[in-house]
Amino acid sequence: MKELIDKIRAEGIALNEEVLKVDSFINHQVDTVLMDRIGETFAEHFKNHGITKVLTVESSGIAPAVFAAKHMGLDLVVLKKSTSKILGGEVYQSTVSSFTKGTRYELTLAKKFISPEDRVLFIDDFLANGQAAMGFVQLMEKAGAKIGGIGILIEKSFQSGRKMLDDLGLDVYSLARIRKMNEGMITFES
């Protein structure tokens, strides 16, 4: 998506070979006009996938996911990052390793917000090693719900997440794909 790639070129900061800082338009300050266009683009791509619900992970996925859900006329469910396992039967949980923080958390979804009839679109800001997305996949397995697709703003194609999700046969649609990064340098897939 040209607008997103242009924005990354203008304001994205490659901190090293692995981490891209996008604080000025996604993670801290949010460019709402760009997020609206991103939401529209996801809605267009997934319009014939029979999606019933949009899911994301707090907190950076929320802005683009709100706009995607709005353009699709659907509810958005935000998966929580809980620090502990919750006992009792009211939630589904799966353990995820955080890419940026190096910590672990329990991706948590209240059972009342998902059903086996749902076909879900998962939206996230980055795809790196696919841990967040795999946590989502496991939650859908527990809930017996179907996966209609995965929408990513920025895929770092040199990390392992894309292959992992492709191997599961999932429809992964990334708006910007980075082939290589280094301090001050970003190369996109053509």
Q: Which residues contribute to the site for ligand 5GP (CB under 6 A)? A: 19-22, 27, 57, 60, 99-100, 124-133, 161
What is the H or E stretch that residue 182 is in? Answer: strand 172-182
Q: Is 115 helix (H, G, I), strand (E, B) or coil?
A: coil
- Cα 187 versus chain centre, distance: 21
Between 133 and 175, CB nearer to ligand 5GP: 133
CB of 152 to ligand 5GP, least distance (A): 9
CB of 20 to ligand 5GP, least distance (A): 4
Between 89 and 169, CB nearer to ligand 5GP: 169
CB of 150 to ligand 5GP, least distance (A): 11
- Cα 14 versus chain centre, distance: 19
Between 57 and 76, CB nearer to ligand 5GP: 57
Q: Report CA dihedral (96, 4, 38, 121) to the nearest 10 degrees.
A: -30
Between 32 and 59, CB nearer to ligand 5GP: 59
CB of 97 to ligand 5GP, least distance (A): 8
Between 62 and 74, CB nearer to ligand 5GP: 62
CB of 116 to ligand 5GP, least distance (A): 26
CB of 49 to ligand 5GP, least distance (A): 21
Between 134 and 145, CB nearer to ligand 5GP: 134
35-40, long-range: CB < 8 A, 24+ apart: 35/63, 35/64, 35/66, 35/67, 36/67, 37/1, 37/3, 38/1, 38/4, 38/64, 38/67, 38/68, 38/153, 38/175, 39/64, 39/65, 39/66, 39/67, 39/68, 39/69, 39/70, 39/71, 40/67, 40/71
